[in-house]
Amino acid sequence: MKICCIGAGYVGGPTMAMIALKCPEIEVVVVDINEARILAWNSDKLPIYEPGLDEVVKACRGRNLFFSTDTTKHVGEADIVFVSVNTPTKTSGIGAGKAADLTYWEGAARMIASCSTSSKIIVEKSTVPVKTAEAIHKVLTRNCSDPNVHFEILSNPEFLAEGTAIADLTNPDRVLIGGQETETGQAAIAKLKWVYEHWIPSERVLTANLWSAELAKLTANAFLAQRISSINAISALCETTGADVQQVAHAIGTDSRIGPKFLNASVGFGGSCFQKDILNLCYVCESVGLKEVADYWFQVVSMNDYQKNRFVERVISSMFNTVKNKKVAIFGFAFKKDTSDTRETPAIDVCKGLIRDGGKCCVYDPEVTTDQILRDMSTPKFEWDRPNYSRSSTHFLENVQVAGSADEAIDGAHAICVLTEWDAFKTYDYAAMYLKMHKPAFVFDGRNILDHAKLREIGFIVYALGKPLDPFLQKQY
């Protein structure tokens, strides 16, 4: 058997590496039109950072795992083709700002059809709207010149969490496979199920119809994001009442009906999926006349935007209602720890908010490159999810500096904003940092990871998100 995956990104690369590791008899090829990305996958410095990924790739690369730009050759030879291309939010036309743009998916389908001389199973790995499989099947069948070639489409949504992707792939809660309720559809499901059952217990490989599988992915991300927005909403209330959001979260999280996960209040959620998938879900609901349902889910995104804006306003109001010409050290740019992914990271909106008030942001992140930070700060909303997006000219970049270390970032700064929960940030010598900063020196902990009592002993004015406000920060009327 030969498997080919179109798209060498955060989903395609790790997923195929794990399949190659666990199924040594299967040849696995990851293809992408981005030559630089494929070169990186074939090098010692992989294009993405994910704990444990290096070891998995190096264990099977060159044995039964390959990375190539020769898309037509490997797609043509494959028995199963995974499609893991970008599905960005549309920026213009009908559904702009909500609907998924399936341009890259359609392009992949046309390419598959054009080079297929044998029947294939096509697996949706990208997050796509409900009923995408139906549309893709039409593109495939109408563009394949060989009438004997049959395409069976499966939905196999990914449920990976970046930062723990390898652990999630090794021991997933479940694998979901959706297919047609026909004889050929069920045979295709069985074949893909056989691949996963090389290392995943059969009872964890769930099967469903195509539409249920497609909708399950959007719904899962909507529910997870909803929990984050819910606790973030409570964090605002905690600050005004003197409650502690971490104590509240712990109290409700011990309820077995609720559970403790995704109850960490923060500056906001990010990543490639949560916002995009909720907006997509809203658009699908609106398209079928379910406006009230769409409005309900849209509030999850609105609350996330409110939380980011609230954090910026807190920083500015605390620093005497202006950050003009003040250096602010930004600790962390990735949307979460243990990943280099910056897609929809709250740090972008926080930095832009501070810069609009005249602030100067000095960013330090242990894994995100300078070029990535500058590109993200200059890229219009939703454009980050398009292949080969590049840095554009913007006044924001005049006020963004990228530091090579935390010490460089805080030198001469008025404040520190913790925007990613990297473990290393907990270990710094903040007493030494305090001496290098302007006074009063502020720490705005958007992740609640630092020892706030110790920071106050050093002399910092501390804002801990969702916790009782420092008297210095309370407004006097």
* Per-residue model confidence as pLDDT tens digits over 176-235: 999 999 999 999 999 999 999 999 999 999 999 998 998 999 999 999 999 999 999 999
Q: Which of 262, 176, 167, 184 is CA-nearest to residue 224?
A: 262
Q: Which of 83, 169, 176 is CA-nearest to residue 128?
A: 83
Mean pLDDT of 390-402: 76
Find the angle CA(169)-CA(346)-CA(454) to the nearest 5 degrees. Answer: 95
Mean pLDDT of 326-351: 96
Q: Is the pLDDT of residue 395 over 80?
A: no
Q: Which of 342, 344, 320 is CA-nearest to residue 415?
A: 320
Facing residues of 146 across strands?
A: none
Residue 273 known to be catalytic: yes
Q: In this prediction, what percent of the chain has a pLDDT beyond 90?
A: 83
pLDDT per residue as tens digits for the range 416-466: 999 999 999 999 999 999 999 999 999 999 999 999 999 999 999 999 999
Mean pLDDT of 155-177: 94
Catalytic one among 5, 60, 238, 273?
273
pLDDT of residue 385: 59
Q: How confident is the model at residue 95 (pLDDT cuts 50, 70, 90)?
A: confident
Q: Is the pLDDT of residue 384 over 90?
A: no
Q: How confident is the model at residue 90 (pLDDT cuts 50, 70, 90)?
A: confident
Mean pLDDT of 110-123: 95
d(CA 441, CA 434): 7
d(CA 42, CA 48): 12
More reliable by pLDDT, 471 or 193: 193
d(CA 271, CA 256): 27
Mean pLDDT of 254-265: 97
Find the angle CA(351)-CA(369)-CA(446) to the nearest 5 degrees. Answer: 35
pLDDT of residue 132: 79
Upstream peptide bond of 387 is cis (omega within 30 degrees of 0) = no
Helix axes 210-241 and 291-318, enclosed angle (nearest 10):
40
pLDDT of residue 196: 98
Facing residues of 177 across strands?
A: 207
Helix axes 291-318 and 346-356, enclosed angle (nearest 10):
50
Q: How confident is the model at residue 411 (pLDDT cuts 50, 70, 90)?
A: very high
Report the b/e string of 77-108 with b at 16+ CB within 10 A: ebebbbbbbbbbbbeeeebeebbbbbebbeeb
Q: Is the pLDDT of residue 383 over 60?
A: yes
Q: Which of 69, 13, 100 is CA-nearest to residue 279?
A: 100
Q: How crowded is the C-beta side of 253, counted as CA atoms within 13 Å?
A: 16
Q: How confident is the model at residue 382 (pLDDT cuts 50, 70, 90)?
A: low
Q: In this prediction, what percent of the chain has a pLDDT beyond 70?
A: 96
Q: Report yes or no: 327 and 354 within 8 Å, Cβ to Cβ.
A: no
Give CA separation, 423 vs 30, 211, 329, in Å.
Answer: 32, 40, 17
pLDDT per residue as tens digits for the range 264-314: 999 999 998 899 999 999 999 999 999 999 999 999 999 999 999 999 999
d(CA 277, CA 287): 15
Give the sign of the dihedral formed by CA 207, CA 213, CA 219, CA 221.
positive
Mean pLDDT of 22-32: 98
Q: Is the pLDDT of residue 323 over 70?
A: yes
Q: Is 186 exposed, middle or buried (0-12, 13-18, 19+ CB in 10 A)?
A: middle
> Mind spelling out the 3-state secondary structure of the chain?
CEEEEECCCCCHHHHHHHHHHHCCCCEEEEECCCHHHHHHHCCCCCCCCCCCHHHHHHHHECCCEEEECCHHHHHHHCCEEEECCCCCECCCCCCCCCCECCHHHHHHHHHHHHHCCCCEEEEECCCCCCCHHHHHHHHHHHHCCCCCCCEEEEECCCCCCCCCHHHHHHCCCCEEEEECCCHHHHHHHHHHHHHHCCCCCHHHEEEEEHHHHHHHHHHHHHHHHHHHHHHHHHHHHHHHHCCCHHHHHHHHHCCCCCCCCCCCCCCCCCCCCHHHHHHHHHHHHHHCCCHHHHHHHHHHHHHHHHHHHHHHHHHHHHCCCCCCCCEEEEECCCCCCCCCCCCCCHHHHHHHHHHHCCCEEEEECCCCCHHHHHHHHHCCCCHHHCCCCCCCCCHHHHHEEECCCHHHHHCCCCEEEECCCCHHHHHCCHHHHHHCCCCCCEEEECCCCCCHHHHHHHCCEEEECCCCCCHHHCCCC
pLDDT of residue 264: 97
Q: Report yes or no: 172 and 19 within 8 Å, Cβ to Cβ.
A: no
pLDDT of residue 101: 85
Q: How confident is the model at residue 337 (pLDDT cuts 50, 70, 90)?
A: very high
pLDDT of residue 281: 94
Q: How confident is the model at residue 477 (pLDDT cuts 50, 70, 90)?
A: very low
Q: Is the pLDDT of residue 317 over 90?
A: yes
Q: Is the pLDDT of residue 84 over 70?
A: yes
Q: Which of 318, 383, 381 is CA-nearest to residue 354?
A: 318
Q: Which of 407, 405, 371 is CA-nearest to residue 389?
A: 371
Q: Is the pLDDT of residue 133 over 90?
A: no
d(CA 410, CA 460): 13
Q: Report yes or no: 155 and 177 within 8 Å, Cβ to Cβ.
A: yes
Q: Is the pLDDT of residue 476 over 60?
A: no
Q: What rounded mean pLDDT belongs to the chain?
A: 93
Q: Which of 237, 422, 270, 233 is CA-nearest to residue 349?
A: 270
pLDDT of residue 192: 98
